[in-house]
Structure 1
Amino acid sequence: MGETINSLKQDKELLQQELTKKAELICEFLQEQLSNRPEKRRSQTSSQQEPSGSRQHLPLYSDETPSFESPALFDSFDEIDIHPNERHRTIKTSKRNREGENTRVRMKNVVGVIARYMTALQEFRRSVSMKVAFDRVGVDRNTISRTAAIAELSLAAPEVFHSLPPWDEKEETLAHYACRCRQAMDDSIKAKIKAMKAKGELLPISPKLGSGLIAFPTMRSQCLESHSLCGRFSEVPDLEERQAESNREQNEKTIRSTQTALRNFRDFLISKYPSETREIYSIPCNELDAYLASFFVDARQKDGSEYEPNSLANYQCGLERYLKEQRYNYSITRDKEFRRSQEALKQKQLELKFKGKGNKPHKSMKLTFADELILRKRGLLSRFNPEGLLNLVWLNNTKAFGHCTGFHGSSLKWGDVRLITTETGLECLEWSYQEYTDVNTKTKRPGTECRIYATPHAPQTCPVQDYKEYAQRRPQAMLYEDAPFYLSIKPVVNLAALHWYNSQALGKNKLAKMVKTMCEKGNIPGRKTNFSVYQSCSTLSEAQSNQLVLICNNLSQQASQSMSSHPGGTNFVIAGSFDSDNM
């Protein structure tokens, strides 16, 4: 019996040694591939490329790059055990397992972790940011962070990595093994890893802390000893790494802008300089300066028209961001090596402005008092139909609260706007803006408070009465504090009914086009957007107030006559506009 146990132990040690040798060979092979891989640029044209929000993912591996999606490394999502009595049932596939998307797979061993890290590193060198690289690989950022120490130690200090006791899947998890790798890093190895991250040889990502706390019984003592390194309250990553990571975090609009500039510049090079096949970050500064100067002077839109002056400047900034991400040695916007392209851009902008370009053709126009009168006359701002009431409440809130920092109509809740009574007995609506922490103050107007006061002398135009009417028309289930403020309208509404709205939030797209939709239905000319409300005046003169009261009185009389002539009530159809002139 003892001999059998000893032989099994020897077999186990031999298998572990074989796995370690296999990991060494794969690491060496990957390093050679990354260091010797020729730079190849993608030859797809702009007609084949789609915007980043809807384009399909390109294959991650070329003919020269080894594929790591093998049964030895990953679990297969395709192999599903089906009970014999349940074969007639339809198997639901993963939501992410769709055509054109990268499915996420679970690592089985150390080799798979290192291979996934190297693939993400390769994509990071080619892409704009780590977010784009992780999306292309189909892996979550936190997943890479939890096991990053394994790959970092194998690349920065392979001799230390191979001296560690091999990983045993029956004894510990990969997260625990990552903790051991992190423990094996001394100050010199940490300094080397930091230097490699700065050079782009490693992913500039901080270790994911708080993982690996739940250990198997055989690893409990080891995890308790490493609690200072892997615990939930362990040391915070150093300031330089966090700063480098935050600098690379870009919002979606910036990423799209960078990709658009890069795509248009590449298409220009393909069309005018077909022999140029290098990536732009590998082109010497004097040649790249000449290409950029030619691009700023000769580039045209797809329809053959000239670009706007600001568009060319945005392209320059987008290319600057991309080159900075790729650690290009020069700045195309500041360095004297790119003086030719900088001067070409300035001259082109002056030429375009002389031709009339750059006059903000898409600027939104102010929503004037006359426009509001037209909207009220045609029932698009009215208490007597569901669409007009919704528009009216939205307009009142946007005028009163839209200037405040953190006010967002799409995320507004019913409890955010409260009906209160002041010390003088005057009713008002107050927005609880203290709960918000948004820092965007572009539309903030100083000297105003987040309240709407009632107008007892003019109840027809009182915003508080509009709010009360809107509250009465809401379903009872939508009167709790966390309910969405703006509700969708029922497809067909009986105006005599109590409730006009669904128990469902109004869509963000409809909220973003409130003014545009109103003005189109009211036949009001000009380009009107939600920003037009910020430009309008929130206070009215006495003559304007009297005119507004007169119109509201007429609308009230017309609505009363219509209800009396149709005792059963009239139907309102959301597809059409409510025109009071036809009542």
Structure 2
Amino acid sequence: MTSETLNYWMQRFVLEVRKQDGSEYPPRSLYYIVCGLLRYLRDENIHNMNFLDEKDHRFAVFQRVLDARMKELLSKGLGTKVRQADPILQEDEEKIWSQKVFGMHSSKALQYTVFFYNCKLFGLRAYDEHKSLECDQFDLGCDDRGKYIHFHGRSSKTYKGGLRHIQLQNKDIKHYCLNAERCLADFYLAYIDALGHRGPFYRRPLASGIKYSEQVLGINKIKGLMKEITRNAGLVGNFTNHSGKRTCATQLYQAGVDEQDIMSRIGHRSESAVKKYKRTNSVLQESVSKVLDPPKKTKCLHSVQCHA
């Protein structure tokens, strides 16, 4: 395929591509689809057809068409309402505990507990870092600072371990359990003991006692764990497995932790990637709203129903 042919058909593609239901993609989604096509060319060892390179004038027309199309989609209101995973705030976390969704009273509750804290403490990703977890990636111990959970990461989206990542290091995080009333190391110990200290970390919980079968949790089951946890606790919001990683970054950010330390904990290598996790949540937005529009004792002119 020549550059002229590719330039022509890429123009037609961005103008005509639609979802399965016939609706149009938001501008950002359209751009990511185009990036996926570029990645496909590279996977096919075609490296001289970068249609997103502004310096490559062969694709100047396509780039103008893509730019105009994205602006047109935005003017239609597409992509203006971004639905992102909500972080789980401290009060939400306490509610999960109070509703007995977390705990050692059942194998399912214990699995919920270690899954959530794998996300929060070690910044594990939505699915890819969970599916391959093994028991021997966790060491439990005690030193002069107290009990700890030591997590040894392996390959991930940002760390593949090849030649390009020779200067990087896998996650190596030691979390000290400083909450005397709720020592997370004890929960991890009970869970890993039940698994026999070997094999896959996520297995099907059994109904009687703290026991797990040899059957590994399926893909869809792992992907839906955070939704199960928050639904069982009665939390309202857009909670997905990605909420765990966002929870980790958000709470560190609110506590004033340095960006470099946040990057180390959640596994990102660029500050721009970390900043995506620092979007304001409802608590921060409420604080800003109070500054810009101080609350008064008089009633509002218009009654607006507030949903819990």
Instruction: Give the TM-score of the pair, scaled to structure 2.
Output: 0.63
8 Å Cα contact 2:152/2:172 also seen in 1: no
Could you say which structure has the larger radius of gyration?
1
Q: Residues 28-427 of structure 1 correspond to what in structure 2 (within 5 A)?
A: 281=1, 285=4, 289-320=7-38, 325=44, 331-334=50-53, 335-359=56-80, 361-402=82-123, 408-422=129-143, 424=144, 426-427=146-147
Quote the Cα distance in structure 2 between the aligned partners of 1:326 and 1:440. Answer: 22
Residue 70 of structure 2: SS of its match in structure 1? helix
2:196 alignment counterpart: 479
Give the alignment partner of residue 452 of structure 1, picking from 175, 182, 189: 175
The superposition leaves residues 440-467 of structure 1 with CA deviations (integer Å, 9 ceiling, x where unpaired) of 169xxxxx97123233x632x2212222
Work out whether 1:522 is the aligned partner of 2:239. Answer: no
2:216 alignment counterpart: 505
Identity of aligned residues (%): 26
8 Å Cα contact 2:124/2:245 also seen in 1: yes
Q: Could you tell me how far 1:369 is from its partner in structure 2?
A: 1.9
Segments of 5+ residues of structure 1 without an aligned counterpart are: 1-280, 443-447, 542-583
8 Å Cα contact 1:452/1:463 also seen in 2: no
Q: 1:291 to 1:534 in 2, by over 3 A?
A: closer
Amino acid at match of 1:528: F
Q: Could you tell me how far 1:535 is from its partner in structure 2?
A: 1.8
Segments of 5+ residues of structure 2 without an aligned counterpart are: 161-170, 256-308
Quote the Cα distance in structure 1 between the aligned partners of 2:97 and 2:240. Answer: 18
The superposition leaves residues 525-576 of structure 1 with CA deviations (integer Å, 9 ceiling, x where unpaired) of 22212221122255799xxxxxxxxxxxxxxxxxxxxxxxxxxxxxxxxxxx
1:430 alignment counterpart: 150
Amino acid at match of 1:487: R
Quote the Cα distance in structure 2 between the aligned partners of 1:300 and 1:503. Answer: 43
Q: Could you tell me how far 1:439 is from its partner in structure 2?
A: 6.9
The superposition leaves residues 213-261 of structure 1 with CA deviations (integer Å, 9 ceiling, x where unpaired) of xxxxxxxxxxxxxxxxxxxxxxxxxxxxxxxxxxxxxxxxxxxxxxxxx
Residue 141 of structure 2: SS of its match in structure 1? strand
The superposition leaves residues 306-333 of structure 1 with CA deviations (integer Å, 9 ceiling, x where unpaired) of 2221333244345555667496986544
Amino acid at match of 1:293: Q
8 Å Cα contact 1:379/1:385 also seen in 2: no
Q: Could you tell me how far 1:488 is from its partner in structure 2?
A: 1.5
8 Å Cα contact 1:421/1:428 also seen in 2: yes
Q: 1:519 to 1:337 in 2, by over 3 A?
A: same
8 Å Cα contact 1:400/1:451 also seen in 2: no
Amino acid at match of 1:483: G
2:266 alignment counterpart: none
8 Å Cα contact 1:380/1:391 also seen in 2: yes
Quote the Cα distance in structure 2 between the aligned partners of 1:301 and 1:451. Answer: 45
Give the alignment partner of residue 489 of structure 1, picking from 205, 208, 213: 205
Quote the Cα distance in structure 2 between the aligned partners of 1:326 and 1:367. Answer: 43
Q: 1:333 to 1:430 in 2, by over 3 A?
A: closer
Q: 1:420 to 1:306 in 2, by over 3 A?
A: same
8 Å Cα contact 2:124/2:130 also seen in 1: no
Quote the Cα distance in structure 1 between the aligned partners of 2:47 and 2:85. Answer: 39
Q: Note the aligned Cα RMSD (angstroms).
A: 3.7
Residue 450 of structure 1: SS of its match in structure 2? strand
Quote the Cα distance in structure 2 between the aligned partners of 1:484 and 1:332. Answer: 43
Quote the Cα distance in structure 1 between the aligned partners of 2:145 and 2:10. Answer: 67
**Number of residue-to-residue matches in the alignment:** 238
Residue 94 of structure 2: SS of its match in structure 1? helix
Q: Could you tell me how far 1:403 is from its partner in structure 2?
A: 5.7
Q: Could you tell me how far 1:515 is from its partner in structure 2?
A: 0.8
Quote the Cα distance in structure 1 between the aligned partners of 2:49 and 2:135. Answer: 53
